[in-house]
């Protein structure tokens, strides 16, 4: 499998190099040159397989020749062995039509563990014996940071610099990052928003001087390997609800469009998906883009679902390029200059064939949390509740099962859950005594100079 950039001007790379590179050198995102597909029989054969075995079958077409099937199986066994549930991503029934896919049984209680536990192992495997040193630079609205830090803490040859917007992540989220005291972990609270943090990271990747001195890579969902790992649970859930004979719909609480793009990839690979429901909070650029074609940024409004407080969704570029069937360098450069663009008719029609979208405000989110608790005995976090609210409002035939992706454990957002339901979810024992542990992080202004100087002092340059 070879990978090409959405902007068409970066070298084609194999899986190893795409994993280590993160962003493409032309500012675009890497996508497979063509989509592999599973036949109906191959999808039917997934029924009854373990999560690890499903993962091997779904991901194998993407990783050759850099990983053998046995190597991939070994990495998946290690990565998913760290989950606290034997099903890894269990499905829970809510009513006759609605289901929750619980993606939060990993070490840091959010779905990002599903991809990042594997990514940490891929980095280690691909670096082993090369003498290379990797400098991971990431921006987090809360959950990527802790999941990435857990995945690489203490690993040889890797330093991680994680930027989070100061005061805009929950206390549990912050402590999950800042109490990891391994010397290769560097937490930075920037005086700005998540979008500022993400823009700084992009600027570092695009800076020839900085990217020349350090082998920088991304753990945000611009890294292809992350999306690949997330394709697996769409198959895992759908075959349990009747695929390939019956189509299944998914509702996905969305920020950077990574998780829901993985659903699009599953559909491209042949999984019968009736609808992908993109659920946003009041930061609704994706809902506006999908419903009216207007992709224009506003200002970020902080909400109880901070991992979705995003105006620029980096992975949307992958969808736009796929729907255009051509590089989208001009369209994206226009967007970056004007902070606004219109989807083409081909992009709008292509998206409308699979996607629906909805904007869920605080009242609808709280209502979904209460409904989940009183009607199905499930305690949902704010992000998952936004997904469920959109799922329940969607216009779908009654015989199509709707799976809401539950992206975080409710304990990560205990205050918001308590406000809606009156119940304060306890932090699971496996996370340990977060509130007792010492924290370590530095506060920096949101400027390119301040951040790059900080990293240059601490990272290991290329050989």
Ligand X SMILES: *Cc1c(COP(=O)(O)O)cnc(C)c1O
> With binding defined as CB under 6 A, does residue 287 bind ligand X?
no
Q: Between 76 and 276, whose beta carbon lies closer to ligand X?
A: 276
Q: Are strands 273-280 and 248-253 parallel, antiparallel or unpaired?
A: parallel
- Is residue 112 flagged as an active site residue? yes
Q: 435 — phi, psi (to 5°)?
A: -80, -10
Task: Quote the strand ranges of 203-296, DSSP E.
Answer: 216-217, 248-253, 273-280, 294-296
Residues 388-417 that bind ligand X (CB under 6 A): 407-408
Residues 105-124 that bind ligand X (CB under 6 A): 110, 112
> With binding defined as CB under 6 A, does residue 316 bind ligand X?
no
> With binding defined as CB under 6 A, does residue 164 bind ligand X?
no
Q: Which stretch binds ligand X (CB under 6 A): 257-265, 323-331, 340-348, 352-360?
A: 257-265
Q: Between 104 and 214, whose beta carbon lies closer to ligand X?
A: 104
Q: Between 195 and 259, whose beta carbon lies closer to ligand X?
A: 259
Of 402, 88, 404, 48, nearest in space to 246 by CA: 402
Q: Which stretch binds ligand X (CB under 6 A): 254-262, 390-398, 419-427, 430-438?
A: 254-262
CB of 114 to ligand X, least distance (A): 11
CB of 252 to ligand X, least distance (A): 7
C-beta of residue 305 within 8 angstroms of C-beta of residue 325? no
What gap in Å lies between CA 22 and CA 138, rounded to an integer? Answer: 11
Count of residues in contact with ligand X, rule CB under 6 A: 16
What gap in Å lies between CA 147 and CA 136, rounded to an integer? Answer: 13
Which secondary structure element, helix H or strand E, spans residue 98, and what is its range?
Answer: strand 98-102
> With binding defined as CB under 6 A, does residue 308 bind ligand X?
yes
The residue from 187, 198, 215, 254 that contacts ligand X (CB under 6 A) is: 254
Structure tokens at 374: 């009183």
CB of 411 to ligand X, least distance (A): 12
What gap in Å lies between CA 76 and CA 232, rounded to an integer? Answer: 11
What gap in Å lies between CA 450 and CA 443, rounded to an integer? Answer: 10
What gap in Å lies between CA 285 and CA 271, rounded to an integer? Answer: 27
Q: Judging by beta carbons within 10 Å of its beta carbon (0-12, 13-18, 19+), is residue 338 exposed, middle or buried?
A: exposed
The residue from 221, 223, 281, 291 that contacts ligand X (CB under 6 A) is: 221
CB of 406 to ligand X, least distance (A): 9
> With binding defined as CB under 6 A, does residue 149 bind ligand X?
no
Q: Encode 275-310: b = buried (16+ Cβ within 10 Å), e = exposed.
A: bbbbbbbbbbbbbbbbbebebebeebeebbbbbbbb
> With binding defined as CB under 6 A, does residue 173 bind ligand X?
no
The residue from 102, 150, 195, 259 that contacts ligand X (CB under 6 A) is: 259
Beta bridge partners of 443: 189
> With binding defined as CB under 6 A, does residue 176 bind ligand X?
no
Q: Which stretch binds ligand X (CB under 6 A): 64-72, 234-242, 249-257, 359-367?
A: 249-257
CB of 431 to ligand X, least distance (A): 15
Q: Between 112 and 186, whose beta carbon lies closer to ligand X?
A: 112
Q: Judging by beta carbons within 10 Å of its beta carbon (0-12, 13-18, 19+), is residue 242 exposed, middle or buried?
A: middle
> With binding defined as CB under 6 A, does residue 307 bind ligand X?
yes
The residue from 22, 192, 255, 401 that contacts ligand X (CB under 6 A) is: 255
Q: Which residues are CB-contacts of 213 (< 8 A; sequence separation ≥ 6)?
A: 456, 461, 462
Query: Residue 448 half-sphere exposure, CB side, CA atoms within 13 Å?
Result: 11
Distance of CA 311 to the CA centre of its chain: 15
> With binding defined as CB under 6 A, does residue 385 bind ligand X?
no
The residue from 107, 383, 385, 420 that contacts ligand X (CB under 6 A) is: 383
> With binding defined as CB under 6 A, does residue 283 bind ligand X?
no
> With binding defined as CB under 6 A, does residue 360 bind ligand X?
no
Structure tokens at 428: 């699971």
CB of 315 to ligand X, least distance (A): 7
CB of 255 to ligand X, least distance (A): 4
CB of 230 to ligand X, least distance (A): 8
> With binding defined as CB under 6 A, does residue 233 bind ligand X?
no
- The one catalytic residue in 112, 166, 202, 412 is 112
What gap in Å lies between CA 262 and CA 31, rounded to an integer? Answer: 11
CB of 183 to ligand X, least distance (A): 26
Q: Between 174 and 455, whose beta carbon lies closer to ligand X?
A: 174
Q: Are strands 3-5 and 273-280 parallel, antiparallel or unpaired?
A: unpaired
> With binding defined as CB under 6 A, does residue 257 bind ligand X?
yes
C-beta of residue 88 within 8 angstroms of C-beta of residue 115? no
What gap in Å lies between CA 299 and CA 191, rounded to an integer? Answer: 16
Q: Between 143 and 358, whose beta carbon lies closer to ligand X?
A: 143
CA distances from 307 to 102, 125, 145, 230, 323 (A): 17, 29, 11, 17, 26
Catalytic residues: 112
Residues in contact with ligand X by CB under 6 A are 110, 112, 143, 221, 253-259, 307-308, 383, 407-408
């Amino acid at each position: 499998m070879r990978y090409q950039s959405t902007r068409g001007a970066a070298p084609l790379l194999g899986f190893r190099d795409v994993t280590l590179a993160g962003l493409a050198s032309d500012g675009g995102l890497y996508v497979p040159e063509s989509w592999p597909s599973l036949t109906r029989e191959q999808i039917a054969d997934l029924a009854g397989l373990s999560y690890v075995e499903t993962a091997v079958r779904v991901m194998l077409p993407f990783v050759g020749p850099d990983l053998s099937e046995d190597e991939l199986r070994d990495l998946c066994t290690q990565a998913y062995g760290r989950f606290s549930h034997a099903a890894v991503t269990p499905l829970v029934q809510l009513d006759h039509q609605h289901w929750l896919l619980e993606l939060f049984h990993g070490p840091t209680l959010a779905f990002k563990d599903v991809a990042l536990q594997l990514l940490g192992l891929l980095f280690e495997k691909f670096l082993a014996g090369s003498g290379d040193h990797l400098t991971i630079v990431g921006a987090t609205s809360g959950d990527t940071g802790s999941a990435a830090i857990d995945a690489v803490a203490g690993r040889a040859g890797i330093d991680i610099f994680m930027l989070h917007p100061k005061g805009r992540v929950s206390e549990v989220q912050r402590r999950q990052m800042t109490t990891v005291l391994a010397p290769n972990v560097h937490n930075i609270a920037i005086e700005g928003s998540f979008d500022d943090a993400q823009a700084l990271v992009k600027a570092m990747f695009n800076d020839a001087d900085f990217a020349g001195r350090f082998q920088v890579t991304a753990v945000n969902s611009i890294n292809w390997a992350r999306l690949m790992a997330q394709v697996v649970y769409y198959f895992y859930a759908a075959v349990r609800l009747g695929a390939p004979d019956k189509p299944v719909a998914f509702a996905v609480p969305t920020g950077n469009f990574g998780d829901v793009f993985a659903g699009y990839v599953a559909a491209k690979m042949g999984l019968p998906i009736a609808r992908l429901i993109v659920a946003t909070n009041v930061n609704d650029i994706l809902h506006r883009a999908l419903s009216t074609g207007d992709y224009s940024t506003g200002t970020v409004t902080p909400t109880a679902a901070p991992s979705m407080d995003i105006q620029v969704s980096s992975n949307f570029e992958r969808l736009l390029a796929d729907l255009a069937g051509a590089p989208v360098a001009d369209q994206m450069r226009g967007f970056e200059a004007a902070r606004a663009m219109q989807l083409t008719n081909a992009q709008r029609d292509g998206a409308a064939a699979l996607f629906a979208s909805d904007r869920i405000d605080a009242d609808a989110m709280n209502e979904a949390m209460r409904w989940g608790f009183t009607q199905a005995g499930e305690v949902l976090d704010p992000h998952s509740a936004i997904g469920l609210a959109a799922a329940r409002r969607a216009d779908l035939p009654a015989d199509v099962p709707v799976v809401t992706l539950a992206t975080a454990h409710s304990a990560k957002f205990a205050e918001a859950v308590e406000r809606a339901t009156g119940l304060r979810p306890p932090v699971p024992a496996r996370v340990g005594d977060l509130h007792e542990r010492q924290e370590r992080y530095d506060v920096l202004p949101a400027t390119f100079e301040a951040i790059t100087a900080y990293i240059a002092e601490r990272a290991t340059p290329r050989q």
